[in-house]
A and B are shown apart, each in its own frame.
Chain A
Amino acid sequence: MSKVGSVAAWAFFSLCVIAVITLPVNLQTQLIVSVLIVTFMAVLKLANAGGRWRLIALAFGTAVVLRYVYWRTTSTLPPLNQLENFIPGFLLYLAEMYSVMMLSLSLFVVAMPLPPRKASSISEGKFPKVDVFVPSYNEDAGLLANTLAAAKAMDYPADKLTVWLLDDGGTLQKRNSANLVEAQRASARNAELQKLCDDLGVRYLTRERNVHAKAGNLNNGMLHSDGELIAVFDADHAPARDFLLETVGYFEEDPKLFLVQTPHFFLNPDPLERNLRTFEKMPSENEMFYGIIQRGLDKWNAAFFCGSAAVLRRKALEETEGFSGMSITEDCETALALHGRGWNSIYVDRPLIAGLQPATFASFIGQRSRWAQGMMQILIFRFPLFKGGLSIPQRLCYMSSTLFWLFPIPRTIFLFAPLFYLFFDLEIFTASGGEFLAYTLAYMLVNLMMQNYLYGSFRWPWISELYEFAQTVHLLPAVISVLLRPSRPTFKVTAKDESILESRLSEIGRPFFVIFAVLFVALLMTIYRVYTEPYKADVTLVVGGWNLLNLVMAGCVLGVVSERGERAASRRVKVSRRCEFGVADKWYPATIEDVSAHGARVQVYGIDPATLPTDTEGGIRFEPYSGSGAPETLPVAIRNKEIAGDITVVGCRYLPQVARHHSLVADLIFANSRQWSEFQSARRGNPGLVRGTAWFLWLAVYQTSRGLIYFLRSLRSSETQKEGA
């Protein structure tokens, strides 16, 4: 069957399904159909049916969702002449329709994600010249040293590889700033980084003025370089050694290719993961995007540039005069522009860089605000649906990616809708108990099942809702402000190097406590009304149940904004690498158990633990993957030790003194990207809807109590502060 034939067949069956769905059959029929379809879907899900069955299950789900939409549209809106009901009721309706639209767009995007690609190889002797750009604004030298060292250590012919540090923190503008402290700091930074770059064999580049933020910085880099390909790494994204070998080959295969994007893998938990303690066992938030959505986008040639961990073709970028800087998410905007000019992109689903997540909730929100505002700007300035040059699937994909960021608006509506009824007795959704059961409950169940079917092992039940809820409060004003004034927002760099040493409430956590209190009052109101108004207890219970769900979310978010202090500064990566451990010029056979950006844990054989007091200086000697093959020594200081028979486990901190030491650290941490894949796949398990929901409820209860305890503690400490004053 030809393409046209298969599309025609699909359209025909779609029309048939829509015709059957829009028949005004009665409630009993709907109820039976819902029960049957939910059962079928559950069976398919339990059987873990893939391939065609997956699409059949999704078609079932779509049928129930469309039945809901039909019913919701035709019979549940409050009458127009009751404006006090109609306006909030219609807003709720729009919010639901937005959710349905997003569901259908994401169904389109991830209907059949591309399986992992075959590795491409570069023809012998045809290595193209690659410029590696590491743009920086205010990151410290230690962080940059690791990244630059790792970039420099990538397996690639040295004469074809140039690493550039594009420093926007030491520009002429900054060095001559009227603010003396700032000017001094910029000059010092400029000098320090120049020295570091010289040591590492990396080109240092800064510019006169800080214009067009990151895009401007990258374009400046392009002006001074001439490589055929450009790899971009954020300051905290250190590449694995095989990064270029895994990505560059594709450019040879497809001359119209402008982008190879790889996932962002993070060594440390994001604030939610850290505060909820889910990093080790639950897939990270971004894995849904990099694990499924980018693969889905890739099917439609719509994988887009995510700012880092990607290789781009200079020729393509030159067509658009470099990176686009109209929005504050220059990455996606650039990809959109190039897709519009007929260039292709691909996505390689293998973590080839390791980066850092923002450490605090506030900086996490700051990062998300930038994404949300940037995507809104793209939506407004470039409206992808009507952008010329794009294929229809690409338009839909970009609409999906940008419209997603409107979520704070419907989330807010869902949060407050039950309160209209519980507090003000407004009926904004007219339905009977039976209809609610047959339509709404079926819709909700099917929705959860479809999500689980699509993203099951990448996203556990209710986690999307939690993340959206946690972001909504602060993203809502950000999104609305950009909708009102699209050109206002400016690029802000997300801080990645903060750390939280002691447990405290996030500085932007207060609104969540207010929301929690309101929802809790609404819960009390529910109970009160069930008893005092038994004649409408059914409606009250349904609305109260909805409010309870919001309350559970809000409670869980209390835990998110209660920041745990942490001892380990960064995440440890298991390596298991032979080495020698030396103290006072005596060397012992040893194995490196795990490493982090700041230190390592080493099993040493036959050493006398007594010779290892804390802060003793020593060294780890091992063969780096890069370099001549001779063993090299990395100086360390001993932090702690554990004795287990003949073996002493020593925890130590790196003491890098020269640039080469940074390369050694990078060699330890970033050398082997396979470890990251293994770590990720270890977390990827689908707990299923029931277990996932139970787990989430437990988590929510626990986090609520933790949040409340932190809150009380913060009250007490502010009291003592006052007393002290």
Chain B
Amino acid sequence: MNTVKPGYVRPLDLRNGRVDLGFGAGGRAMVQLISELFARAFANDYLARSDDGAVLPALGQGERLVMATDAHVVSPLFFPGGDIGSLSVHGTVNDLAVMGARPLYLAASFILEEGYPLADLARIVDSMATAARAAGVMVVTGDTKVVEQGKGDGVFITTTGVGALPAGRDPGGARARPGDVVLLSGRIGDHGMAIMAQRESLAFDSEIVSDSAALNGLVEALYAAVPAEAVRVLRDPTRGGLATTLNEIATQSGVGMELDEAAIPISSQVHAACELLGLDPLYVANEGKLVVLCAPEHAEAALAALRAHPLGAEAARIGAATADPQHFVQIRTGFGGRRMVDWLAGEQLPRIC
């Protein structure tokens, strides 16, 4: 005899359950995954409506719409200082923030591997929700697909975000001019080395923690302190590190750069870990740092604004843009000599020699 109450659906076993192909099939299982996991965690009216898309309010007067997207395939999925979930929120929020926009809404699409533990997925989703709330954004729509075991790395997440760019703000990679001051919001290399430490064959023990963070608050603090047109370029130096970001800007803007190595903040542990593995910290990824190219007459105020914000406490002036038809990024070493900081050639790999 059927003693199950009508309308009863057994909840997902978030402790011991695993992702199976049914979750991506579009049927009841998928709806259940969405409502019990995603919608519960992200908790907003848009998701509650369970429509195929989210109808968003119009922007304010003079604001322009900005969109950005980021796919996340980080391995390992969990690392000191974050996980793929928080990273996916911060990554897209930061892409919007460095456009000068206020990040507003995110779409999140998941590709899950069959067999992935639901408990870990729940951790990731909760982490995303926490990161989104802290950044002041909402995950308003999403998608889920499941691939067969062996065809995915546990979880891949793509986030797409939209934000509102207030009138007057127009930072861009091509806007730097000779004389502009280069500011950096804090220590380089934390994220990349936190990930490296987890790699089995490189394993080392340290207190290095990923700097993964949402930068929109820091960017707003900057714009509150200086005129919008003084903020020429905003970037977050992710893959390829500070060196790659500065080379990109130099090329786009048609300028050179001169940096002061002694002024670039780096933690002693990141420095030591790089020495141990033969890596150059200038090329190591960051996930919570801001690079600003600022008009020189407002550089002091900009730096002060960054330093007053928790994410910018160690902000520093690290150099300046120059007139250089070769667009070289040069650095004065702590030792006293000069050298170039070139584009990264291929992936940075630990060296023996």
The answer to whether A and B interact is: no
